[in-house]
Amino acid sequence: MRKFVPVSFFVVLLVIAWTSACKKDTIDPGEWQPVGFSVPPGWPQPFYNFENNSLTFDGFALGRKLFYDVRLSRDSTISCGTCHQQFASFAQAGHDVSHGVDDLLGTRNSPGLANMAWSTSFFWDGGVNHLENQPINPIQNPVEMDLKITDVVTRVSGDADYRARFKKAFGDETVNSQRIFRAMAQFMGAMVSADSRYDRYVANPSGNYLSESEKHGLQVFRQHCASCHKEPLFSDFSFRNNGLIPSAVNDSGRAHITRDAADLYKFKVPSLRNVAVSAPYMHDGRIQTLEACVEHYRSGVHASPTTDVLISGGVVMSDLEKDDVVSFLKTLTDSTFIHNQLFAEPK
């Protein structure tokens, strides 16, 4: 059974529930209300199946608290939200590779987390295939949060507010890793970003949502980029080599998971939604600006046996076309999403 409730309705319900819940530390049972998840018009069905983990206000609110809780890291300094910042569409602004506990560096750039419900795999190499199996990786990773999941369960279950929230979300106070991951999946799964100027334009092409140059940029984008960065999610979720020169750490990408030489240096095609606010770019954050990203396709594509044939010869674009593609990419910013208090750190 799938509920077709308009997004606005879903948001309104959540807002009503939220504003009343915010006033108190714990949530009143009377305010406990299920919320619907709906697919924006023209979008495919999500890959994540909420039927196995019903999205409720309390599950969502618990997931949000966990997401922003630094106690989920060894030294209580790092939360998921440290590396996934809302104003950057939940990427980590200004960091080429992620910074975890003790200021230790990872080797990859923190990706944005909008529209995770549609993602068919997680991480740049697709090493995780289920949204609920994802959080254990950063929690236990020695250069990220570095805490054993059993210790997370101990810390969380020692907190009375959490126990009350688990009861609200799951029926009793039991804290276990599966419930932690399910609550986080509800929070992340509900992070839908579908209200950019591009979306308004697509819904109403005769409205004045895009300038002539942005519209031209969209045409050029559809010609050269959309086969991988497929609308409406702006990714086809495949793994491709877009011609970056292998980095100093020689990250092998998808081949790290499949051990297949044909997958060398292939990475998950990232969504470009909110891309203007999530610099730096690429799996290792090596590119700082959108202009330089587009220029990469024009003049920087490095040919190798696995470089994608769509771009291996370089993409032919005039200066005007390049500028217009950059302008178009900026129309993918959804300020409703990046300012939505529902996804912000709880006060």
- Contact positions vs ligand HEC (CB under 6 A): 67, 72, 78, 80, 82-84, 98-100, 106, 108, 110-111, 113, 116, 119, 122-124, 134-135, 138-139, 144-145, 184, 188, 224-225, 227-229, 240, 242, 244, 267, 269-270, 272, 275, 278, 281-283, 290, 293-294, 297, 308, 310-311, 315, 325
Q: Whole-number minimum distance, CB 344 to ligand HEC, in Å?
A: 15
Which phi and psi (to 5°) does residue 65 adopt? -60, -45
Q: In this complex, which beta carbon is closest to ligand HEC, that of residue 13 or of residue 226?
A: 226
Q: Whole-number minimum distance, CB 278 to ligand HEC, in Å?
A: 6
Q: Whole-number minimum distance, CB 346 to ligand HEC, in Å?
A: 15
CA–CA gap between residue 155 and residue 200 (Å, rounded)? 44
Contacts 24+ apart (CB under 8 A), 286-295: 286/96, 286/244, 286/247, 290/326, 290/329, 290/330, 291/322, 291/326, 294/322, 294/325, 294/326, 294/329, 295/322
Q: In this complex, which beta carbon is closest to ligand HEC, that of residue 168 or of residue 224?
A: 224
Q: What is the largest CA-CA distance in the chain?
A: 62
Contacts of residue 240, Cβ cutoff 8 Å, sequence gap at least 6: 228, 266, 267, 269, 308
Q: In this complex, which beta carbon is closest to ligand HEC, that of residue 32 or of residue 237?
A: 237
Q: Whole-number minimum distance, CB 228 to ligand HEC, in Å?
A: 3
CA–CA gap between residue 10 and residue 8 (Å, rounded)? 5
Q: Whole-number minimum distance, CB 1 to ligand HEC, in Å?
A: 26
CA–CA gap between residue 114 and residue 340 (Å, rounded)? 12
Amino acid found at 78: I
Q: Whole-number minimum distance, CB 307 to ligand HEC, in Å?
A: 9
**Is the separation of the CB atoms in 57 and 33 below 8 Å?**
yes
Q: In this complex, which beta carbon is closest to ligand HEC, that of residue 31 or of residue 308?
A: 308
CA–CA gap between residue 147 and residue 137 (Å, rounded)? 10
Q: In this complex, which beta carbon is closest to ligand HEC, that of residue 13 or of residue 276?
A: 276
Q: In this complex, which beta carbon is closest to ligand HEC, that of residue 32 or of residue 213?
A: 213
Q: Whole-number minimum distance, CB 302 to ligand HEC, in Å?
A: 11
Q: Whole-number minimum distance, CB 188 to ligand HEC, in Å?
A: 6
Q: In this complex, which beta carbon is closest to ligand HEC, that of residue 241 or of residue 340?
A: 241
Q: In this complex, which beta carbon is closest to ligand HEC, that of residue 206 or of residue 250?
A: 250
**Is the separation of the CB atoms in 63 and 187 below 8 Å?**
yes
CA–CA gap between residue 145 and residue 283 (Å, rounded)? 20
CA–CA gap between residue 272 and residue 78 (Å, rounded)? 26
